[in-house]
Structures are given as structure tokens and as C-alpha cells.
Chains A and B, each alone.
Chain A
Amino acid sequence: MENEQRRISGADEHFNSFATPLLRPEGAKLIVLEGIDLSGRTTQVHLLRDWLSAQKYHVTTTAWRTSPLISDVLARARTKSPLRPLTYSLLYCADHLDRTERVMRPALERGEIVLADRYVYTAFARDEARGLDKQWVRNLYRFTLEPDAVFYLHISPEEAVRRRVALQPRISLEAKPEKHGEKKQKKLLERAATTVQSPALAPQTLESFHDFEMNMYSQYQRMQKEFNFTVVEGDQSIDLVQVTLRRAVLRLLLEPE
């Protein structure tokens, strides 16, 4: 509790408005992984989940943009006519609220560990990168729960582009990935599908990918101090990143409340 207090007052004075911390049972933790596209977030969340489950912890995972409420709307927007930027920002907020009330809060009340693949910081980075007013965006998310830890998987935008290019041949060879059951490939494709809608990768696409990631990157860099991110270097092997994360999570779980 004291810890919570400290973190709140240490945060940016403009944003001390996380929802009142609920009384969580011992062991309930909200752990967030953030990072730009292709930083390895999702892979690391899954590995953490498997490891924690094997240690007999109860774990719930949740990922950005997965509320059934908006998935249909977003899917239609993708295929039919795209929505305006502000509309997306309100829909993403609805997604976050829905998952907060239906997934995260109940799991924490049951005393579980919640692993969030992206959190409000993604919205802050995205919306602010698009020129929306910072205060407006942050106030929108005032209902949200304050995480116990935020791990920021740091990779450079250039590294993201390298990874994106490396994914490319495998994607373009297979227009319909699901027919080819190779597990690893499917995983890669899934990862790619969450970041870019079209597998076609024209030079200008790559350029706008880079610009977007660059933009997100500088937003994350700016938020690091403000929200007390724990930075984990993402430009190393999956195993090494995972080891670092496990060590930090363990410390969090064992620290006296």
C-alpha cells in the first residue's frame, strides 16, 4: 500500500488519477509488458505465463484490442471503410475498459497474477503520437488500474524494421498461412498480422512502418521515467530476455507487501 502511494505521488503530476487501488488479496499482481511492434512482447508474455503456471501460480493474460466488443467493429473497419483516428482512440479505450472490468479486475480480486500484453501506455503513445491532446487522452483512461510493474522491452525502431524485413519472405511466400501447419511459421505470421494488416511490403510501406515505430519509440522513451518503467533490453535472445524478466517478476512476487 505504501508502495502504491509512493508510486502515485512519484508519477507525473498531470496523471495521478489511476482508479483508487482496490484492496487486492495477497499475491495479486498486475504486470505489464510494453514495447514497440516486434519487440517480442507477446512471446515473452506467453513464456512468462507458462513458467508461472508451472510454478503453480494462477495466471490470467490479456492483450490490447482483444475485447469481443470492438473486434467486430475493427474488423469491419479494416475491410470496409477505415474509421477516423479519434474514433479508434475511443474504441481502444472501450476495449481497455471492457477488459479491465471483465478480465483484469476479477482476476486480481481472485488473487491472481495478471499479465497484460500492452496497457494504457500503448494508447498514450499512439494517441499522443497522432497529435491528440495529452491531458485529454490521459483523462480518458482515468478508470484504469495501476500496474505493480511495467516492463518495457526496448528495441530500436531500426531493429523493428530489421525484424519486419526478416519476417517478410516467409509471409509473401505463403498467401494463406493457415493451410501450412508449421508451428513456428504460424507464430511468426500471427505476430506479423497483429502489426501490419497487409503482407505486401513496398518500400514506402516499410518507410511508414519505420516512421510509425520511430514515433512510438520516442513516446515510450518519454514515458519511461514518468511511469517508472523497468527497461529490459529486447535486442538479445528470447531466452536471455525471459531470464531477465523471470528474475524481476520473482523479486516482485517475493517482496513483502
Chain B
Amino acid sequence: MATDLNKQAGNSSFLEPHRYPGRLVAAEGLDGSGKSTQLQLLSFWLRSEGYEVIITEWNSSKLIKRALKAGRKQGVMDTKLLSLLHAADIAEMHQREILPALKRGAVVLADRYIYTALARDLARGVEAEWVQHVYQFAVRPDLGVYFQISAEEALHRASGSHPLLKYEQQAGMDLARQSDPVGSFRSFQQSVLRAYEAMVGRFELFCLDATQPVKQQQRLLRDAVQRVLPGENE
């Protein structure tokens, strides 16, 4: 146990490849970029190929919602505090679902992982060096996919016919100005987008044009996943 944790925090980090028999594919991108659909399709394919597949989803669990609620009661929340709560949430998912599956040799498809958390934190203005350090506990994905769409397109897809109703459920609304919720949400999305774009090169994310037809995206994804599957490189 101790060595596991040791590995999780510091010694081996999301900056270095892991040594588990399983594989981790992380899908990142703005809300509405089509990640979930693509992961579903990937899971069908991988299962038919005989792999054990689990899909994890990260979007503020009950655990953290409770803390966020208590925090909002106190007023405006410190951005680092928000960052720590999200990190705790991801850490729990990481230890409970992702690591055991990787140890079993399963393929884990993570619908949002640390890069989304990082992008949101950076967009909120949290010091980059500190927050990247916080996430050192996380295993580096074998494939990190960035679903690239413009902020306008994401907004359009996510908002549907009742934009404001939808916005309220979106990440980043903690920063929204009362007077102009749409405007402040848009500028938050822009900052998140910039953070993602900066991470593509830095963390070698696979950049997928998410405006292409679903089938075409899936084909590109399968090619990329194929290359990291067990037995392909050894």
C-alpha cells in the first residue's frame, strides 16, 4: 500500500509512463465536444476485441458537491481551495476505480481526467506550478485525447434552446458575474480552451478535430488507441 501511494504521489507522476498491465485513455475537451459518444463507441469496439473495459466519468461527485455547497455558503471560494476539492475528487476516483482496473489489465476510458481539471484550474487563475504538482499523484494516460472544438461551437451544442438553464450547470459558473452570465461563461470557456491548447504540446495529447463526422472521429480514435493497446508495442 505504501509503495502504491508513494508511486502515486511524486515518484511516478502523470509526467512519466506507468507500468501497469492495463491501459488508460483519457478524453478531454469542452462540454459538448462529443467525448462521451466517442468513448461509448470505443468501448463497444474494445469489448468486441476481448478487452475488459471500464468507463470512468469525472464531474464533481457527491463527495465534492457537499463541500462546494458548504463553501458557497461562506461566500466566494478561494480558487486554490476549489482546485484542492476537485483534486480530492479525482484522487478518490483514481484510487477507487482507475488504479484497480489498470492493475487488473483492463482498458480504462476516462471521460474527463486531470487535463480538464488542470484546464479549469488554470482558467480560474490558480498558479500553474502548484496545481500541476498537486496532480502528480495521477497516472499518466497511455493516450490523452483532446477533443478540439471552438468555444462558440461548444456553447452552441451545450446550450440548446435554453442557454441560461444549461449554463447554470456548467463548470466555471462560480466565476460568473450576475449582470452578464452568458458573457462571463463565454470568457471562462475561452480561457479553458487556451489552457487546453497549451497542454496539447506540453503533455503530448492527441488532438482530434471534433467537428468531423462521428464515424470519421471514431476511425481516427481507434487507430490511435490501437497503437497503445497491450501487445502492440512489446
Contact with A along B57-100 (1 / 0, CB 8 A): 00000011011001101100010110011011001101110000
B134 close to chain A: CB less than 8 A: yes
Q: Is the pair A131, B5 in contact by a Cβ cutoff of 8 Å?
A: yes
Decide yes or no: A139 and B63 within 8 Å by CB, A86-B9, A87-B91 being known contacts. Answer: no
Most chain B CB inside 10 Å of its own CB: which residue of A83, A90, A97, A132: A90
Contact of A90 among B1, B3, B88, B96 (CB under 8 A): B88
- Distance of A15 from chain B, by nearest CB (Å): 13
Known: A73-B63, A86-B95, A94-B67. A136 touches B74 (CB 8 A): no
The answer to whether the Cβ of B177 comes within 8 Å of any Cβ in the partner chain is: no
| B11 adjacent to A140 (CB under 8 Å) | no
Is the Cβ of A133 less than 8 Å from the Cβ of B10? yes
If over half of B's interface residues share one DSSP class (helix, strand or loop), that class is named, otherwise mixed; here it is helix
Expressed in whole angstroms, the Cα–Cα distance for A135 and B91 within the complex equals: 18
Contacts of B85 in A (CB 8 A): 69, 90-91, 94
Point out the residues of chain B lying under 8 angstroms from A102, CB to CB. 74
A121 CA to B70 CA in the complex, in Å?
26
Whole-angstrom distance between the Cβ of A143 and the nearest chain B Cβ? 6
Count, chain A residues at interface, CB 8 A:
32
Taking a contact as CB atoms under 8 Å apart, the answer to whether B133 and A86 are in contact is no
A90 contact set on B, CB distance < 8 A: 84-85, 87-88, 91, 134
The docked-state distance in angstroms from the alpha carbon of A84 to that of B5 is 10
Contact between chains at A69 and B9 (CB < 8 Å):
no
Do the beta carbons of A73 and B91 come within 8 Å of each other?
no
Closest-by-CB residue of B relative to A70 is: B67
Minimum Cβ distance to chain B for residue A208 (Å): 14
| Contacts A69-B67, A86-B8, A131-B3 given; does A101 touch B92 at CB 8 Å | no
Q: Decide: A98 and B5 in contact? CB cutoff 8 A.
A: no
User: Which B residues are CB-close (under 8 A) to A83?
Assistant: 63, 92
| Chain B residue at minimal CB-CB distance from A101 | B78
Contact A84 to B95, CB < 8 A, known contacts A72-B70, A132-B5: yes
Residues of the B chain whose Cβ atoms lie less than 8 Å from the Cβ of A136: 9-10, 133, 136-137
**Neighbour of B84 across the interface among A97, A137, A142, CB < 8 A:** A97
B5 touches A130 (CB 8 A): yes
Question: Could you mark each residue 152-179 of chain B with 1 if its beta carbon is under 8 Å from any beta carbon of chain A, else 0?
Answer: 0000000000000000000000000000
A93 (CB) vs chain B CBs: closest residue: B84
Contact of A142 among B9, B96, B130 (CB under 8 A): B130
Q: Is A85 an interface residue (CB 8 A)?
A: yes
Question: Is A94 a contact of B70 with CB atoms below 8 Å?
Answer: no
Cβ distance A124 to chain B, nearest Cβ, rounded Å: 13
Closest chain-A Cβ to B129's Cβ sits at a distance in Å of 9
- Neighbour of A133 across the interface among B6, B64, B92, CB < 8 A: B6
> Do B91 and A84 touch across chains, with their CB atoms under 8 A apart?
yes
In the docked arrangement, what's the CA distance between A217 and B188, Å?
A: 46
CA distance in complex: A133, B64 (Å): 24
Asked whether A135 lies within 8 Å of B10 as measured between CB atoms, the reply is: yes
Q: How far is the CB of B68 from chain A (nearest CB, A)?
A: 9
A134 to B11, CA, bound (A): 10
In the complex, A254→B67 CA distance in Å?
Answer: 41
Residues in chain B near residue A133, CB distance under 8 A:
6, 9-11, 136
A130–B84 CB distance below 8 A: no
Is A256's beta carbon under 8 Å from chain B?
no
A134 to B133, CA, bound (A): 12
Chain B minimum-CB-distance residue to A72: B66
Give the nearest-CB partner of A102 in chain B.
B74
Please give the distance in Å from B122's CB to the nearest CB on chain A.
17
Please name the residue on chain B nearest to A71 by beta carbon. Answer: B70
Of residues 23 through 72 on chain B, the ones whose CB sits less than 8 Å from some CB of chain A are 63-64, 66-67, 70-71
Q: Is A76 at the interface (CB under 8 A from chain B)?
A: yes
Chain A stretch 50-82: residues in CB contact (< 8 A) with chain B = 68-73, 76
Query: Which of A73, A86, A137, A143 sits near B67, CB closer than 8 Å?
Result: A73
Question: What distance in Å separates the Cβ of A13 from its nearest Cβ neighbour in chain B?
Answer: 17
What residues of chain A have their CB less than 8 Å away from a CB belonging to chain B? 68-73, 76, 83-87, 90-91, 93-94, 97-98, 101-102, 130-137, 139-140, 142-143
Question: 3 smallest A-B Cβ distances: which pairs?
Answer: A133-B10, A131-B2, A84-B95
Q: List 13 A-B contacts (CB under 8 A).
A: A69-B67, A72-B66, A72-B70, A76-B63, A86-B91, A90-B84, A90-B91, A91-B67, A91-B85, A94-B85, A97-B84, A136-B10, A139-B133
